[in-house]
Amino acid sequence: MTTIEINFDGLIGPIHNYAGLSPGNIASASNAGAVSCPRAAALQGLAKMKRLMDLGLTQGFIPPPRRPAIAVLRSLGYQGDDKTVLASAATEDPLLFNNSCSASAMWAANAATVIAAADSFDGRVHLVTANLATMLHRSFEAPDTYNMLRNIFPDKRRFAVHQALPSTRHFSDEGAANHMRLATQHGDRGLNVFVHGASRGSRFPERQARRAGEAVARIAGFEGFHTLQSQAAIEAGAFHNDVVAVANEQVLLAHAAAFEHRDALFDAVARAVPDFVPVEVDSISLDDAIGSYLFNSQLVTLPDGGMALILPGETRENALVWGAVEAIIAGNNPIREAIIVDVRESMRNGGGPACLRLRVPVSTTAIAGIDPRYLLDERRWEALCDLVQQYWPEQIDATALADPALWEAARCAHDALDALLGRFELG
């Protein structure tokens, strides 16, 4: 029985905007108030999905939750019809209103932590929804994410979808962005590495709590390895581990300053995965790594067994970074190909190729337990592209989120997406 890894990318929503809501995310903060391009953003994300499909990989997608988050505003006491609720919130609490308009669920790496069937106590794939408790706008996502994951993975014989941990800093959980799995192959038992922060007086929030990783490991019934993200990386703007490290099967690609206790981590992986291949980069600074999002690339296993890096275009714009990429490809490791994708709209808000996807290892039999509407083929991909072209706004000024015409455009886009999913169900 073969196990493959499916990337489920977040479809970028129609209200994608640059409101600068995420302290510690340098790209988000530096572009606050800029004009965004939701249509271009979604098409860039879809083009990336198609590139992976063309490589022979199975590709899924996760629809965006409805935004503005009217249900959240109602739960906070705003009353009346939808327009009244939104207008009241925009007038009385503009910061809360802006948070309700965030399209940050597009970064599906934060949707959940995924535990492979080979590692769990019951032989099922476990998905533990992330609470994203550190950031207000992201904390609104968990209920929608949980419900959507249940829709995508409905077969309880093969998948266990868990609600988020309690939404407190004590259990602050940012999902797969701080989780790495290393194994000889996707179907083998592996080592689950949980990377966390700590209270060290950093100028930026250290978002992932160790207790969250420990709880996820207990839920899925195994012992994980817990390691501390380096304070230097967080100070440089690595708000998640996947900004400075990425793992795939037996390979760990990381900046040399990614981990506080690097030697202990590498020793643990080497004991668990005999053919462990560490690929460390020390030829570029943390600033260059984070500015280019080199390590927020997707590292994928190709059908022929080699590996490819799916890189943001920004890596080509820095000569030192591109030199590091060329050294990786030429090195004694399984990474043999570098593929550039354009996700500039996402990058401007602080998310590269790896941020946009949730990795789910599944056996060839378990694939039958996934709702096929969320697995892309040529026809579904083209239909999503057509939908985005027709309904997604061309531009959004982040200073004009309180425009009722924008709310109506977003509602129409989501209604059209729901209708399209209904047609997917019919075959």
At 123, which CATH number? 3.75.10.20
- Going from the C-alpha of 176 to that of each of 247, 281, 363, 384, the distances in angstroms are 11, 22, 19, 25
Of 356, 42, 359, nearest to 186 (Cα)? 359
**pLDDT score recorded for residue 17:** 95
Question: Mean pLDDT throughout 242-268?
Answer: 98
Looking at the chain, the whole-number percentage of residues with pLDDT higher than 70 is: 98
**pLDDT score recorded for residue 28:** 66
Residue with tokens 């590709």: 59
97-129: per-residue pLDDT in tens? 999 999 999 999 999 999 999 999 999 999 999
pLDDT band at 425 (very low <50, low <70, confident <90, very high): confident
**pLDDT score recorded for residue 20:** 77
How far is Cα 394 from Cα 186, in angstroms, rounded to an integer?
40
Structure tokens at 106: 């597009």
**pLDDT score recorded for residue 19:** 84
How far is Cα 313 from Cα 340, in angstroms, rounded to an integer?
6
365-386: per-residue pLDDT in tens? 999 999 999 999 999 999 999 9
Phi-psi label, residue 231: left if phi above 0, alpha if psi -120 to 50, beta otherwise: alpha
Number of residues in the chain:
427
How far is Cα 67 from Cα 12, in angstroms, rounded to an integer?
11
Question: Mean pLDDT throughout 330-344?
Answer: 97
**Domain count along the chain:** 1
Phi-psi label, residue 175: left if phi above 0, alpha if psi -120 to 50, beta otherwise: left
In a domain, 89, yes or no: no
**pLDDT of residue 23 exceeding 90:** no
CA 288 to chain centroid, in Å, comes to 21
In a domain, 418, yes or no: yes
Question: Mean pLDDT throughout 30-37?
Answer: 85
| Residue positions annotated with a catalytic role | 174, 240, 355
**pLDDT of residue 2 exceeding 90:** yes
**pLDDT of residue 260 exceeding 90:** yes
In a domain, 272, yes or no: yes
279 beta partners? 253
**pLDDT score recorded for residue 202:** 83
Give every CB contact of residue 337 below 8 A, 6+ residues apart in sequence: 302, 306, 307, 308, 309, 329
**pLDDT of residue 349 exceeding 70:** yes
**pLDDT score recorded for residue 427:** 63
**pLDDT score recorded for residue 178:** 98
In a domain, 158, yes or no: yes
Check: CB of residue 359 under 8 Å from CB of residue 5.
Answer: yes
**pLDDT of residue 56 exceeding 80:** yes
Question: Mean pLDDT throughout 393-422?
Answer: 96
181-205: per-residue pLDDT in tens? 999 999 999 999 999 998 888 888 8
In a domain, 273, yes or no: yes
Burial readout 332-358 (b: 16 or more C-beta within 10 A, e: otherwise): eebbbebbbbbbebbbbbbbbbbbbbb
How far is Cα 289 from Cα 312, in angstroms, rounded to an integer?
12
**pLDDT score recorded for residue 204:** 82
How far is Cα 113 from Cα 119, in angstroms, rounded to an integer?
13
Show the domain range for 180. Answer: 3-67+102-425
**pLDDT of residue 27 exceeding 80:** no
In a domain, 82, yes or no: no
Question: Mean pLDDT throughout 164-168?
Answer: 97
In a domain, 161, yes or no: yes
**pLDDT of residue 274 exceeding 80:** yes
292-303: per-residue pLDDT in tens? 999 999 999 999
CA 11 to chain centroid, in Å, comes to 11
pLDDT band at 394 (very low <50, low <70, confident <90, very high): very high
Check: CB of residue 68 under 8 Å from CB of residue 86.
Answer: yes
How far is Cα 193 from Cα 423, in angstroms, rounded to an integer?
40
In a domain, 91, yes or no: no
**pLDDT of residue 62 exceeding 90:** yes
Mean pLDDT of the chain: 96
**pLDDT of residue 399 exceeding 90:** no
Amino acid identity of residue 53, one-letter, is M
Check: CB of residue 40 under 8 Å from CB of residue 342.
Answer: no
